[in-house]
Amino acid sequence: MEHAIIEFKARCADHERIRNILKKKNARFVGEDHQIDSYFRVPYGRLKLREGEIENALVFYSRPDQAGPKQSDVALAKVPAESELRSVLAKALGLLVAVDKRREIYFVGNVKIHLDRVEGLGEFVEVEAIGSANEVGSLREHCERFLSELGIKQEDLQEGSYSDMLMR
């Protein structure tokens, strides 16, 4: 399944404040997921296998490394939990890094909000406005609105993925 996503990631020292804002927006809480994202060597973009209790998928995406809202082009295939895919991909492509995180997952309409606690990195909030390629303008507006409503400071915005941060 292919999607266009406008997203941002920011350091967040106060998840409780974000939870309260989401509660006021009647966000739908999906649950808390312990996820391991394994990143593999590919010639361009990023390929990761997400293994969690709620979400399990093979995800390829490409996006610019810039702070603030940015477009990601994503191809995603759901995979069964506890598959052998990780070991096969690691042998075929080489494992770059594994990201271990606890993620609270919320939705407000087509906007997915994550409150993440990442091993070795700390706490973050991530917002993804999800749609099709012809909706990029409205997705960007949704993302910009959340940036403002959540009170995200410019200096807290992150450019790359958690994998990039761990490999530094």
Q: pLDDT tens, position by position, for the chain (168 residues)?
A: 677 899 999 999 999 999 999 999 999 999 999 999 999 999 999 999 999 999 999 999 998 888 889 998 889 999 999 889 999 999 999 999 999 999 999 999 999 999 999 999 999 999 999 988 788 888 999 999 999 999 999 999 999 899 999 998
DSSP codes, the chain = -EEEEEEEEEE-S-HHHHHHHHHHTTPEEEEEEEEEEEEE--SSSEEEEEE-SS-EEEEEEE----SSSEEEEEEEEE--TT-SHHHHHHHHH-EEEEEEEEEEEEEETTEEEEEEEETTTEEEEEEEEEE-GGGHHHHHHHHHHHHHHTT--GGGEE-S-HHHHHH-
- pTM here? 0.93
Domain at 2-167: CATH architecture: Beta Barrel (2.40)
Residue extents of the structural domains in the chain: 2-167
Q: What is the pLDDT of residue 112?
A: 97
